[in-house]
Chains A and B, each alone.
Chain A
Amino acid sequence: MSGVLNILFVGVGGQGAILASKILSHVALSKGWDVKLSEIHGMAQRGGSVVTQVRMGEKVYSPTIEQGEVDIFVAFERLEAYRWAHMLREDGKAIVNDQAIAPLTVLIGAAKYPETILDDLTKCMKNLVIAPALDLAREAGNAKATNVVLMGLLAATMDIPLEKWIEALEAKVPAKLLEVNKKAFMAGYEFAQQQA
């Protein structure tokens, strides 16, 4: 699969993966790349586990990513990182929001939310950044910008000029929310650089 970059977003319905994937694909298109993106709508929107697959490169055929073939893994929630960890390639990069959202099975006491997620992920993922994205978004002025904080973290792992990302934000984020989202994006970007 040389020449194609595979990026996987995993999270919980309602966390803003759709806006995130729009920003990413805008950036990829501005580079003149071929892009394919696949996500499943429908029942998953009701608080279920949500997966968005983005592939970019010279020429992309399949819209879906195979197990163990993800180059950059962005988890919007830690349990979802745990669930989809097997998708990451051995030398792939992972960005995990440390936020925990309990599924209903846990809320009603039918299952336990695993306690060792971050430790386990640290052991199995070679290039892992764990980020307090929700806190960074709150500091930037809006908890709902957690998705854009994660885009800032993603931008820091990719070899694409920062201006392209800012242009994408300007194109995809509603004007009245642009300033707070730019702040959130930079908070994520700078957090990643401090970790490096």
Chain B
Amino acid sequence: MTLKALLTGNEAIARGAYEYGISVAAAYPGTPSTEILENISKYPEIYSQWSPNEKVALEVGVGASIAGARTLVAMKHVGVNVAADPLFTVAYSGVRGGLVLVSADDPGMHSSQNEQDNRHYAPFAKIPMLEPSDSQEAKDMVKLALEISETFDTPVLLRITTRIAHSQSLVELGEPMERVVKPYEKDAKKYVMIPAHGRTRRVFIEERDAKLAAFSEQVSVNFTEMNDPSFGLITSGVSYQYVKEAFPTASILRLAMTHPIPKQKITDFASKVDTLFVVEELEPYLETQIKALGIKVIGKELLPPYGELSVALLQNKLGAYLNISAPVAATSEQEATSEAVIPFSAPVRPPVMCPGCPHRGVFYVIKQLKLVVSGDIGCYTLGTMPPLEAMDTCICMGASISGALGMEKANPELAGRLVAVIGDSTFMHSGVTGLMDIVYNKSAATVIILDNSITAMTGHQYHPGTGKTLMNEDAPKVDFVALAKSLGIRRAVEVDAFDLERVKEVIKEEVAAPEPSVIITRQPCALMLKGPSTPVVCTDCKSCRVCLRLGCPALSYDEAGQTVVVNGALCTGCNVCIQVCKFDALHKGGA
């Protein structure tokens, strides 16, 4: 009997890496892709690593492939933007060992700043793309991607979405194949992309694309399920599951190799059905290409180009068009188009900074000082929420520092009240070049590095500032102060994130200074604390409620008792609230 396991798409991709001979894997963590490398690191046969950012991760992957190893690189959708530079040229050089780039997109923006549809990267970079519909296919397509990569001499984009990455379904487990690294040979015409070599490879790409298009016509993952010919649906990815459930008797053309698309297969399918729909999340990626074939197809006229699809949405929208009474019939236009009818109104429960989070006190001080905050991406982005509301911008990884420089140059009046706020992992990812720019172009900006010694938001991954690697080995640790000084920063100060008085003093001093400065606030992430804590105690509360402005989940106000209450099960004893209480009502516990 074959062994089956319930795996997420991410776990299945890691299993595929193990079974199909991947020797090197690299990534920078990012939801919903993080667990791919976390799971690969459980197989000691594979060399795996966190890179400081996605560009570096892909470059490590390109080098490993050129050196002859089967290689996998994973990142979230916006990470591919960072890695786009090597991607577009490794598309020219091609590979020696198979090279798979996993892009985990996030329709619905569950945990992302945008909703870009990375399928467009495949035709843009001229590389083939595969899209699995469940975990079994996610594993199988690691194999297929490696075979395509090595057969056609190209990197392959394995594109998943949150619902594939984080949904569990059954996967058959197989034995691992032998891991072989091909012997190294110098081949400068292929791997040195000077214009003369590039022009040769440019022609090769067109030939490769034509061969891949022919392959796409016959590859078994692009299949037709002929049924009721009155309407047909072309679909891919998780949308295939929604289509199967919404229209069990429909004819379906399921595409998993979605670049290049199988034009003949699509034309044949279209000729066999009366009405043709394309069901895809986000952009009309397939639709535009199908329409370019001169085929009449209905897609985004009915389905939204944003957010996730669902069975009910398809039944309501396509069912209404076809006059099929759907099992989940809409009773009004409003129900068909908008969200659920919610019977009760419940106060929202957004994610919050944890009790004991070292970012809280720093943002409290920043708010007190009424500073303009050029923000960045991480747990600390939650500092934008009430009651702290201490962030003015958040665009992309690293933009806090360079953005602050632009703000100051555009509006010098901001110079005396502007700070950039960035986490330690994000600083390693892409903050260092911005800091260099601040020094070089003579800004007076103050950069606050919130150092909690981990990549926290994605669930605690190591980075070059932590002294540990993904494979759990000790590593040299980046010294932030020495790094800042080497870039030309003369004012670099370290401060305990829980010492509010000192934090305030330092921020005031550095913001006023007429040259750039770096403040490093230190305390480990509260979720990494081990051992029992001594909760804060509240006695003789004067009901001023100033402490509630910290937005700590461990503090609440009891109206009946006219007192602030400390939830001892949540309080970590960080003692930040003690420092904001003007009446000494809050005390250290355990005394």
Contacts and interface: CB of A to CB of B under 8 A. Distances in A.
B477 interface: no
B553 interface: yes
B351 interface: yes
Determine the interface band of chain A, counting residues with CB < 8 A from chain B.
Answer: 35 or more
B557 to A, nearest CB: 7
Most A CB contacts (10 A, CB to CB) among B341, B344, B386 go to B344
Nearest to B335: A67
B195 interface: no
A12 B349 contact: yes
B169 A63 contact: yes
B6 interface: yes
B36 interface: no
Contacts of B343: 85-86, 124
B244 A108 contact: no
B310 A37 contact: no
A108 B349 contact: no
B351 A48 contact: yes
B351 A63 contact: no
A63 B163 CA distance: 8
Given A63-B167, A85-B344, A35 B6 contact: yes
Contacts of B163: 38, 63-64
Given A46-B352, A47-B553, A63-B167, A82 B340 contact: no
B379 interface: yes
A114 B244 contact: no
A113 B166 CA distance: 31
A85 B343 CA distance: 8
A108 B552 CA distance: 9
B472 to A, nearest CB: 21
Most B CB contacts (10 A, CB to CB) among A37, A42, A49 go to A42
A63 B349 contact: no
A86 B551 contact: no
A48 B168 contact: no
Interface in B6-50: 6, 31-32, 35
Contacts, number: 165
A109 interface: yes
A79 interface: yes
A80 B349 contact: yes
A45 interface: yes
B110 A40 contact: yes
A157 B315 CA distance: 30
Contacts of A60: 169
A62 B6 contact: no
Given A66-B310, A85-B343, A104 B352 contact: yes
Given A107-B553, A109-B545, A39 B347 contact: no
Given A35-B170, A64-B310, A112 B349 contact: no
Given A37-B168, A42-B110, A108 B347 contact: no
Interface in B334-350: 340-350
Nearest to A117: B344
A66 B341 CA distance: 12
Contacts of B6: 25, 29, 35, 37
Interface in B294-348: 310-312, 327-328, 340-348
A1 to B, nearest CB: 7
B35 to A, nearest CB: 8
B512 interface: no
A69 interface: yes
A16 interface: no
Given A67-B312, A86-B340, A105-B350, 15 more contacts: A29-B6, A36-B134, A40-B110, A44-B110, A45-B459, A46-B353, A48-B352, A61-B245, A63-B134, A63-B168, A66-B328, A87-B340, A108-B387, A113-B347, A117-B344
Interface of A: 1, 12-13, 25, 29, 34-49, 60-64, 66-69, 79-80, 82-83, 85-87, 102-114, 117, 120, 124, 143
30 contacts: A35-B168, A37-B169, A39-B166, A40-B162, A41-B459, A42-B110, A42-B111, A42-B457, A43-B351, A43-B457, A44-B110, A46-B379, A46-B382, A47-B354, A62-B241, A62-B310, A64-B311, A66-B310, A66-B311, A67-B328, A83-B344, A85-B344, A105-B386, A106-B347, A107-B551, A108-B387, A108-B549, A110-B387, A111-B348, A112-B347
For the complex of A and B, the 4 pairs showing the least CB-CB separation, nearest first, are: A42-B111, A111-B347, A48-B351, A63-B167
